[in-house]
Structure 1
């Protein structure tokens, strides 16, 4: 074949290849636009259903794919945003595969970038606006903003235990709100708070659903489903065992104690006083119901216990207000009595 014809043939092949790649990207975008948000398992809490026995006897709750998806997405974010990266070749390969899978969907790539963007805003205490999200992250995918924001909100909630809320519908300002009500010793530092809150909400949920006292092995059984292991450093959570058995215990979110008469020693978790003060059984149940795409009433036994807990909290608040009012009234009467006495000459 003459050289001129060969050149034309190669040029035609390059054009066809470029056209095929363009069509492939267009097809991926179209399928991404039509794709439904990540779905959760249709069987809430694995083998637990509405006919579950009373609290204290159900089998270990299972974490649905939604939680695993959120944590792996966050791991991919950490992997792409961290100078340290993975500590081993196996971990590097693992997270490369995660990132590759996520990036097959153009919208998921934007979700990864938007979560990273929100984390930076949160840690720097900078305002979060729709305009900035569109300008710096969403860009040409602005027509898919609502879908990207929805997926991002799910990941922020499931992986970090924070809600992304629109606090100013007029100017479209958003805020990341922790699921904990910091009412005792103040919040944790911003850089540490979100990862610990995510692990804490999962742990509190397992404890609640196991009758308010959960064996340590059952906590790790659930966390293992998320890709979180006691003896393996996690790119998001750091040293999970230290976080759960030391950090959150010292902060009084969890109580970690040895099972009575256990030999060899076994340990169990309970809610700590700070957990009781800053969250509630209803909030934790709402968290677990949401990650299973259902409602708290779908779990009658736990819902009834959560409702009783809310009623007891309300009564305690009313009693506290009554005591405060009585003390204020007593002080006022004492002051009035003092002021009404005639002054001594």
Structure 2
């Protein structure tokens, strides 16, 4: 990106905050539980490679990604450590990932065979079981067949079964009955795997919310995604761990001007000025991942004040109510950030738009530049 693009609109990621958050989560779980930092989807919009390096510096033994491309990008960037990849379809090219020592995930007998036949290297494989999310993972009825076949392939020297794992459906709701049911089912799966002769190194179930709220589900590894980025995985339910949001999205004001009572703003005139006021144009829109639905719902930070978005968010820009002020072009606009100056947070944007903070930070991008910093106060 050019310096002009960076000045117009950008994502600023504080890597010191990432290191702080990973360290804080490590302290929480203690020395007997390994840490996996999940860096899929370009590090939840924060930059996968840069976040991975920061997480490693903070002591994260594992990185988690969804796709083989993500896993190989980490290797190409020089990361030599343990990486788990978990989403594949028939026909994937496994050979390079196997040679690179990536831990792959299998759900089915067919997937185990495809990995085992991918090349001359002995693949590292973790088995994912569906304990109630009803998404990826071996269905309960298939556990015996999948486990038995995995054990046969391991005994034949074709695979190393390095882990067994699953994923919660409702860990952000600690009283939800699915949590107890899923943990019980996972323990059954682990016991069955052991009965069939497997001794997987790793057993893991807990995502960020379960890591914090459900100590019994930590087993010997936890997978922390959103909490590593300083965002609350279960808003209103988690204790204050001192996590620091790492992402700030900012832009430079393109212009400000006066408008009169009765003037309509942006497409469809969904907001009409109820008084003489001033408005500003912010040069970022849904082409940069700013949700179109944020119009008339979310706010930004300009000159130490919150300013409401007025009218519809456009592809390249949106309009804010400056309430009579006329800040000059180039004035800093913070869409969301850590909140320590009073600016809106990703969580507040999520609440305004009836979504989750994961979506807010992951969807921003497009033409936004991304800049990584290390703030000492993080």
| Structure index of larger Rg | 1
By percentage of residues, which structure has more helix? 1
TM range (shorter): under 0.3
By percentage of residues, which structure has more strand? 2
